[in-house]
Every structure is written in C-alpha cells, then in structure tokens.
Structure 1
Amino acid sequence: MITVHNLKKTFRVHQGGLLRGSSVVMEAVKDVSFSVERGEIVGYLGPNGAGKSTTIKVLTGLLVPDSGRVEVGGLVPWKDRRAHVARLGAVFGQRTTLWWDLPVHESLELLRHIYRVPEPRFRQNLRDFTELLELGPFLNTPARALSLGQRMRADLAAALLHDPELLFLDEPTVGLDVVAKERIREFIRHINATREVTVLLTTHDLGDVERLARRVMIIDHGSLLYDGALASLQARYGSARELVVDFEFTPIDPQVPGLTLLGAEGPRVRYGFTGAAAAPIARVTAHAPVRDITVKEPEIEATIRRIYEGGLLRDGII
C-alpha cells in the first residue's frame, strides 16, 4: 500500500531580524525508507518536531519531497493528487472535516457529492457507521454544538464514507475520556478487520498504539530509529518485567536468588526479572508459601521515553 524509499525533505527557516536575519536549511526528514502492507495498522511515533507530520503531508500529497521515491497504492501522491485523495481518508484530532454550522447528516451528504459516492453505498455506510459509532442522537446537531467525543466519531464516519483504502489518523483520541477512547479504538479495529482498511496512526497516546498496532515505526530528528513489532520493541528495549507476590505471611528474608528485589510491604513483595516467568515463579513458590502472583509487563510509555532520550542511539541501532 505504501512504499517510501530514501525520502528527504528540507525547509528553509529564517532566523534573526527582518533586516539582518539569515536563513538556514533544516532537514525535516532524512533518507527515510519503509513500506506498509495492505491491511496493516502501523503506529508512527515520535516527539514533536521529529518529522511525523512532514512524512504524512508527503504521503497525502500536500508536500513535494526534495528527493526519494514515494508511492501510495501505486500512485505518486503529489503527481496523481486527484486520484490519490479519492482513495484515502484522514482524521486529525485538532481539526474537523465537518461544516461548523451544519447538522452532521448534512455535512455527510455534502461529502457524498464531493466524493461521488453512489447513493446506495452511501446509505449503507451511513447505516453501518451510525450503528457502530452511535451517531443517531446527534446526526441533526450542528458540528459546533458537538462534544469532542461526538465530533471525533462524526469525523471518523466522514473519513470513511467513500470507502478509502488507506486511513491516516493523527491523535484520534486526544482529549477524550476512557469510554470514548475505547469506542473509537473498537471502531478502528472493526473497519480494519472487516474492510481491510490500511491505517497509519500517529499519536502521543500510547494506549492507542498498544490496543491497535502490532507494528510501530519511531522517528526522531528526521531519522527512522525503529521499525518492527511492538512486542519486539518491548522485549528489546523495555525495562525488566515485574513479579508481584502475595505471600501467606511476611517473609523473614524476602530476597530470592536470581530475582531483583524491588520492594516489600508486609506479605506483598515485588521482584524484577527478565525473560520467561516460569523459572522466577518456581523460585518464589519454593521460597515461601504463596497466596497470589501477578506478572506485570513493562509500560510502553517508559520504553518509548527511553528511546526518545537516546536509548536506541546508545545501543548502536543507527
């Protein structure tokens, strides 16, 4: 679906005053290469200013790169713009595609004409999305009167009415409560599974990544630092796993050979370990009678933070 090879994009930035200032060339994206298969959900992560937005703007045809090869569905985005945009959808958390003063259903009707969606297909999609996203209560409400969660659900419906093959999502759950976030995530999983819509997700909410994407790409300072499975990222760069043990009674000596003691509060003791959990659990149960054991996986937030702070660079990945 997406092929990017040696993508490079620079911007000339003015510095200093209007009369005596000078300009410098800033590299937004440096020789980035990746591919995305049809039907994948891929998280594209990075801190602010890392190059994510520049990449997305090239992929959508809004920017022309300095060099490199980019194809989306066999088309060059900035050369075949009309045909290209007809096959993609986009939802940006801080912006809306709805008309501000129109009821939601009228915005969707206008989009049907813009994308030339056949009437029967439009009606079927509208029925499906109304049910899946629970749009019914606010279809007749102007966009300006919607809550953030309602607007995001309506924007998702608007982005998918014309059956795009590729969906760009930028912060799709920003500012939403837990219930609204999960509704959005369930819908994205559903359209990916049932319609094979390819999804490229950029977000700072790592809960979105954990629940939606099996593969992540991490970019920083314009360079691609990591491209692979989320599970492999955790295994390779995550902190140690944690074993939370509730003993039958407070142990005299909570130290267990082969495990790192992280803390003890009465009969509850926390241990750090790496690798499979079977051996550490066996060591703990042999140490003293156990009432309950929980294995806690490392938090992805900590892993990503370590990478942003230079963990991958120190490990010699690039």
Structure 2
Amino acid sequence: MNVIETEDLTRVFTGRPNRKDRFRRPRHVAVDGLSLTVEAGESVGYIGANGAGKSTTIKMLVGILVPTSGAVTTVGLHPLKQRRALARRVGVVFGQRSQLWWDLPVQESFSILSSIHSLPAADERVRTAELVEMLEMGEFLATPVRQLSLGQRMRAEVAAALLHRPELLILDEPTIGLDVLSKQRLREFLVAQRREHGTTLLLTTHDMGDVERLCDRILVVDHGSLAFDGTFDGLARTVGARRELVVDLAAASPDLVDLDGAEHVRSESGGLRQRLAFDPQRTTAARVLAAVSERVEVLDLSITEPDIEDVVREIYRATRR
C-alpha cells in the first residue's frame, strides 16, 4: 500500500501586481510536477536546500495548501476533501511551530489533543504513559510548555503527534537547534517507534546525521523537482559526500597528512585545531581518530556532516554530466 502518492504535483504562488504593470503578477513555482510514492512502513528522508519546496509539499500532503495542479493522496485519502479523516491517521511536527498550548502544562496539552482525536480515557492513559516513558518526559509533564527547553519541547511535540497512533508521521526539521544528546534521544525513540508500531516516517531535515541514522530511502528535491531517489549509500556514491573530523590538539602540530583513509583539509590556530575529511563508506570516524591519536594527543573532537546545500549542488552537477 502506498501511504503517500503524488502525480505531477505542482504549486505556484502568485504575488502582488507589479507597480509598472498592474496586470502582471510575479509567479513562483514552489513544487514543479512532483511524482513520488512512499510505501507503508518506509522511513524516507525528504531533503533539499532552503526554498526547494519541502514544506510546501508537506502542506499539500496534509491539506493545508491546495495544489495548483496534479494529484495527491495521503494514506489513501484526498487531503482537501477528507481532511478531518486524514487528521486522525497522520501526525505532523513542524520544527518552527507548536501544536501544544503555550501556557498549559504538557500533560494538559496531551489531554486536550486526546479529546480532539476522541481517544477513550483508557487508551489515552496507556498511550501517554508509553510515550512519557520512552521519551523520558516524566520530570516536566507538569511544566508549562513556555518553560521547557528546546529539547524537552521537541520531545513533547513528537509525543503529541503520536498520541493517536498515526499511520504516517511527518517531521519537518524536528532536530533543528537541538544539542547532541537531545538529537540522539529523539533518533533512538523514532527508530523504536517504527520498529514496534510500523509507523511510516517522512522526514525533512538539514542534518545529514538524521538522514543516515533514520532513513532507508532518500528523496532529494531541487527547485520543486525530484533530483534523486535512492539510498544513503547511493547518495554518497553519487556526490562523494564526506564528513570532517575536527580535532583540538594538546600542542601545535604539523599538518596531519598521509593518514590512512583521511585527507587533511586545513589547520587552524597554528596547528592546534585540524580538520580531516573522510569517506564514511570507506572508513569510520573512530578509525581516523585512532590514526590521529597515534601521532598526537587529542583534547577534544567533533564531526561535521556534509552540508545539504552542497549535496544538492553535487547531485545537480552529476545529473548534468
């Protein structure tokens, strides 16, 4: 069964008339003839640069925006004509917008949402307890949403979207601004949720770590059109996506060149900080770090993921060769 299906889906935004020509309105094609399918149980990363049409697509999938042309069905329903029925079968999290009540405790927001979805009291208690335990929310259930940290609020947002056990969970930039620990906690929960309940996941993100750890399949959109449909490995082979290991050293060192599996990118602060690029398909950060540690003492480290904009640019170049 296809949980998402679009055919030649297009959305054009029309602006205000030009001052010099009142009969001419500027047009912006946000989504351009998009055709794709997502099967039940899949975990799909929907990625692209800012302005590529990702959020516009999601809004058409859930009935917030009307397509200019083309067709779309979500969980077998027409998003506009059957929007109320669709809301009971889909959960959505927009990273920049909240579905929780700002001045109410988290628990009260959950109760209101459960009533909106007509959940029986017994089901509400069981489901809420399950989500509270899995997302470790017990300590802030009685806290007003406005007092939560960003990481706490995003956990509560995801829980709110899953209260009614939707078949499809759509996450639009869910980890934006989160620290490393919060990202990891959320990723582990989403993996477990999908494994235990078979939830279909559609994820938009600028974080390649999210894509690699959560998604079986990747759709890359560029200027509203589909530029790539495949796996993360296939994406890495297409664009040669590399990570960077950034190491802070105990003492200044000459450039760390000739390391097995890594390429020296540049040194900073007179050699105290060095950046090393590596292909995750051929080696791991742990192996590169081990090679570095054999030469110098490492005080701190971080890993920089490939930039989404760079990935899209390389895909575009590859398809034009």
Instruction: Report the TM range for the smaller structure's normalisation.
Output: 0.7 to 0.9
Counterpart for residue 82 of structure 1? 84
Give the partner amino acid of 2:14. R
Moved more, 66-75 or 19-28: 19-28
Counterpart for residue 172 of structure 1? 174
The answer on 1:312 being equivalent to 2:315 is yes
After superposition, the C-alpha distances for 1:262-284 in whole angstroms (9 at most, x for unaligned) are 6899xxxx99899978xxxxxxx
Write out aligned runs for 1:96-107 (5 A): 96-107=98-109
CA contact (8 A) 2:238 2:315 kept: no
Counterpart for residue 139 of structure 1? 141
What is the aligned-residue identity percentage? 46
Q: Secondary structure at the match of 1:116?
A: coil
Work out the CA distance in 2 between the residues paired with 1:58 and 1:78.
9
What's the TM-score once normalised by structure 1's chain length?
0.79
The answer on 1:149 being equivalent to 2:151 is yes
Work out the CA distance in 2 between the residues paired with 1:312 and 1:97.
35
Work out the CA distance in 1 between the residues paired with 2:279 and 2:194.
36
Q: Secondary structure at the match of 1:102?
A: coil
Decide whether aligned partners of structure 1 residues 106 and 241 sit closer, same or farther in structure 2, where only a CA change above 3 A counts. Answer: closer
Which of residues 186, 200, 203 in structure 2 aligns to 1:201?
203
Decide whether aligned partners of structure 1 residues 170 and 255 sit closer, same or farther in structure 2, where only a CA change above 3 A counts. Answer: closer
Decide whether aligned partners of structure 1 residues 276 and 26 sit closer, same or farther in structure 2, where only a CA change above 3 A counts. Answer: closer
Give the partner amino acid of 1:313. Y
Give the partner amino acid of 1:60. V
Give the partner amino acid of 2:77. L
Write out aligned runs for 1:119-130 (5 A): 119-130=121-132
After superposition, the C-alpha distances for 1:231-290 in whole angstroms (9 at most, x for unaligned) are 111022215799xxxxxxxxxxx989xx9986899xxxx99899978xxxxxxxxxxxxx
Work out the CA distance in 1 between the residues paired with 2:204 and 2:155.
17
CA contact (8 A) 1:234 1:300 kept: no
Decide whether aligned partners of structure 1 residues 301 and 84 sit closer, same or farther in structure 2, where only a CA change above 3 A counts. Answer: same
Shift in Å, 1:68:
1.5
**Which consecutive unaligned segments of at least 5 residues does structure 1 have?**
243-253, 278-290, 293-297
Q: Secondary structure at the match of 2:49?
A: coil
Counterpart for residue 38 of structure 1? 40
Decide whether aligned partners of structure 1 residues 308 and 316 sit closer, same or farther in structure 2, where only a CA change above 3 A counts. Answer: closer
Give the partner amino acid of 2:156. A
Give the partner amino acid of 1:24. P
The answer on 1:224 being equivalent to 2:226 is yes
Decide whether aligned partners of structure 1 residues 156 and 15 sit closer, same or farther in structure 2, where only a CA change above 3 A counts. Answer: same
Work out the CA distance in 1 between the residues paired with 2:72 and 2:224.
16
After superposition, the C-alpha distances for 1:186-238 in whole angstroms (9 at most, x for unaligned) are 11111111111111101112221121112111111111101111111102221
The answer on 1:301 being equivalent to 2:306 is yes
Give the partner amino acid of 1:180. S
Work out the CA distance in 2 between the residues paired with 1:137 and 1:62.
34
Work out the CA distance in 2 between the residues paired with 1:228 and 1:161.
31
Give the partner amino acid of 1:186. E
Work out the CA distance in 1 between the residues paired with 2:201 and 2:223.
23
Shift in Å, 1:308:
2.8
Decide whether aligned partners of structure 1 residues 44 and 271 sit closer, same or farther in structure 2, where only a CA change above 3 A counts. Answer: closer
Deviating above 3 A after TM superposition, structure 1's stretches of 4 or more consecutive aligned residues are 15-22, 239-242, 259-265, 270-277, 304-307
Give the partner amino acid of 1:42. V
Aligned residues: 285
Decide whether aligned partners of structure 1 residues 139 and 316 sit closer, same or farther in structure 2, where only a CA change above 3 A counts. Answer: closer
Counterpart for residue 71 of structure 1? 73
CA contact (8 A) 2:47 2:219 kept: yes
Counterpart for residue 191 of structure 1? 193
CA contact (8 A) 2:243 2:305 kept: no
CA contact (8 A) 2:131 2:159 kept: yes
Counterpart for residue 50 of structure 2? 48
Q: Secondary structure at the match of 2:97?
A: coil
Larger radius of gyration: 1
CA contact (8 A) 1:2 1:35 kept: yes
